[in-house]
Structure 1
């Protein structure tokens, strides 16, 4: 259903995002790769992985084997806990190495959760921590991969540069080795050397191919290192989800507290103050009723007007808490009512075969309401549009206007608070607002199942 309020509604295709200031290079990426700092950092990571992995593997296997063997005595538990704690320490070192050489940012795993003070509580926390056992698994799995990647990277890298620079050093063979060049084949009857200009040129070209390919081979090898570090040395998905839910719960609590303060302020400064004045006016009218009935009647008439104003303020306050039209008739009617109060013409289009859960419906209503308020106050637009539809198990909202643009969630505006509210229910807010407009704000909410009213 589409409802249009006012005239002049249209959708103009606005300009895109400003052009990026990406640096342009004269050489293509394939030719730049062998000399780029990133390539050398990744090669350094591969070269360091072998000695570090040998040390880590030796430590982990020794401590865990010793601890497991001593479990028949009390000494096995502290030895095993010390081994796992050491693996966690090596894990912190590996995260730092990945951050410095690979540019990979991995958060620290979940901290130890002790049940109390003392060494026994610490050992129990280490043994029960999933991060400790993931660090041990990293120590075991990383050694064979470090050996493989070291061998491949060193051979490919050395072979490429050796063949590429062969025209510069092939004279070493006849001068110091007593042969004409690199020997490709030799037996009792004849030998084949790379010694004429054509063969030397072809050798250098093959070396160029190996040199160009070696950075990409090393990069592919380090991708496995990235996966190991991210998957085994970072926080688990469950722990990350718990932290996210705790943060969202804090946002919900703060939002609810702010709403309660706003309601209390609106009641105190609006309807409550007006009702207090109304009570005083009625008291004065009661006192003058016998002495001056005409003046008392005039005061009662003024009080009647104050009652109407107070009722309107209470209705507006109730609409700000949860409008009755939303409960009775759904998003289509509620958003149409909001659009009718906007200062610019607004077209509302709601394409929903059924209604979402009440909580999601309320969040959707207040999201559109706040976005239209921003259009009225800040956009300097001449039209706006609201679209609501369902995609699988998600409720989609979009508010578009042809205003001046420049809206930014990261600027700490009301959009940032709105994004936090949506994030608290696993929602997403995307703002596309280039300078000069148009502004397009898209919100995505979980559907949260069907319900019967």
Structure 2
């Protein structure tokens, strides 16, 4: 199943027209026409009201909406490459924004949206509605007087004209329906070109993600230290005290010593189970011994939602790649069970040109937000640090698709 409108249209056009992708492209074009008209009005107003200087602040909501609107065509919202200013205050913010190349690309995009892209969207809408307009404008009256009898020639001519008109409507309707996704995809390509992070901005985002990753590792180290201190260490301390008590009772009260030894055995089992659970959270045993496909299959077996797994990895991957992919899949399954009300999850993956591609798809209600404490934000930083990408597509109503790509060199 295709994940984007372009993949669906390129793969099987007939199936595309019978799917929801057509409605999503129509929604993208219609909303683009409305927002283009809004840009046509608001962009000059923002330049005047903001005395040109404050135009980036006044047009920021429109740009943010455009970055999120691309989810209608599949894929994740476009990332915002802006960097937070070092100094507070509106003056520092504007000065910093004007120094960024993305600010000028955003203004250029809004200008295109108010002109060229608006014409493109309106042309697609007009072409889509042309068959309906043609039917509404058909004049079925004739110039003959009502009392004139109809001849056989008149009937034949009327049938031929009707057939040719119907054929013309079918041809125009086909091109009209085909033009809408083409216009939507072309519009989205321009949005990706101007609003997505450039190469230099990607490097800065990667630097920031690595800094956040260092902080996350420090937080994780403290969590492990706390879990060891509050959990396993306390159980081992209780085990030691129980054994000391059994040693003191061994000579005088053998039965009491036996009971204490049995208690110590149970405490040792509990401590061992807790240590195993802690180690599994750091690096699962099955991942170390059997590799990623077996580890993902074990995750699927433990999941509370039915999961189908198709992961084809012919050889072992670098440890960092396997570990990152494992925890991304684990987090995706956890989110599907907790938040999505999904009844089916599929995990597919394999190697393509020395890159691991993993896709987790569920049929839940959608609307997932990686910034709402789902754990994906930290994993995205980890993926960025290894030069990979983590994309989330979760429109309201579903489906939710999490796609991971990681380089497997090294």
What TM-score do you get using the length of structure 2 for normalisation? 0.53
Could you tell me which runs of 5 or more consecutive residues in structure 2 were left unpaired when the two chains were aligned. Answer: 1-17, 49-94, 112-192
Kindly indicate whether the alpha-carbon contact (under 8 Å) linking 2:312 and 2:350 is maintained by their aligned counterparts in 1: yes
Find the counterpart in structure 1 of residue 402 from structure 2: 441
Residue in structure 2 matching 1:355, options 316, 339, 357: 316
Q: In the aligned structure 1, how far is the partner of 2:342 from the partner of 2:103?
A: 51
1:431 corresponds in structure 2 to: 392
Q: Residue 253 of structure 1: CA displacement?
A: 0.8
**1:15-414 aligned within 5 A:** 19=27, 22=31, 36=40, 102=108, 240=201, 243-414=204-375
CA contact (8 A) 1:98 1:104 kept: no
Partners in 2 of 1:381 and 1:94 — Cα distance? Answer: 42
Which runs of 5 or more structure 1 residues have no equivalent in the other structure?
Answer: 1-12, 45-88, 106-226
Give the corresponding residue for 1:417: 378
Between structure 1 and structure 2, the one with the greater Rg is 1
Q: TM-score, normalised by structure 1?
A: 0.49
**d(CA) in 2 for partners of 1:97, 1:258:** 34
Change beyond 3 A, Cα 1:395–1:297: same
**CA–CA separation in structure 1 for the residues paired with 2:19 and 2:379:** 24
- 1:389–1:395 CA contact under 8 A, matched in 2: yes
* C-alpha RMSD over aligned residues: 4.3
Q: Distance in 2 between matches of 1:326 and 1:94?
A: 43
Q: Post-superposition shift, 1:236?
A: 9.9
Query: What is the number of equivalent residue pairs in this alignment?
Result: 259
Alignment match, 1:204:
none
For 1:324 and 1:269, the matched residues in 2 are separated by 23
User: Contact 2:43 / 2:110 at 8 angstroms: preserved in 1?
Assistant: no
CA distance, structure 1, for counterparts of residue 315 and residue 350 of structure 2? 10
CA positional deviation for 1:14: 10
Q: Give distance in 2, aligned partners of 1:342 and 1:101.
A: 47
| Separation in structure 2 between the aligned mates of residue 362 and residue 324 of structure 1, nearest angstrom | 11
Kept after mapping to 1: 8 A contact 2:351/2:357: yes
Call closer, same or farther: CA 1:318–1:412 in 2, change over 3 Å.
closer
In 2, distance between residues paired with 1:93 and 1:320? Answer: 43
* Mapped partners of 2:203, 2:225: distance in 1: 33
Paired position in structure 2 for 1:164: none
Query: In the TM superposition, what is the alpha-carbon distance from 1:421 to its structure 2 partner?
Result: 2.0
Greater shift in the superposed pair: 355-364 or 402-411: 402-411
Distance 1:381-1:99 versus aligned 2 partners, 3 A rule:
closer
Q: Please tell me whether the aligned partners of residues 15 and 434 of structure 1 are also in contact (alpha carbons under 8 angstroms).
A: no
In structure 2, relative to structure 1, the CA distance for the partners of 1:415 and 1:295 (3 Å cut) is same
Distance 1:284 1:356, change over 3 A: same
Distance 1:337 1:14, change over 3 A: farther
Report what 1:48 is aligned to.
none
Over 3 Å counting, the alpha-carbon distance change for 1:434 and 1:301 in structure 2 is same
Structure showing greater relative contact order (alpha-carbon pairs closer than 8 Å, 6 or more residues apart): 1
Offset at 1:328?
A: 2.0
- Please tell me whether the aligned partners of residues 210 and 382 of structure 2 are also in contact (alpha carbons under 8 angstroms): no
> In the TM superposition, what is the alpha-carbon distance from 1:448 to its structure 2 partner?
2.0
| SS in structure 1 at match of 2:31 | coil
For the residue of structure 2 that corresponds to 1:22, the secondary structure is helix
Give the Cα–Cα distance (whole angstroms) in 1 for the partners of residues 279 and 209 of structure 2: 26
**C-alpha separation in 2, matches of 1:272 and 1:316:** 14
Query: C-alpha displacement at 1:418, in angstroms?
Result: 2.1
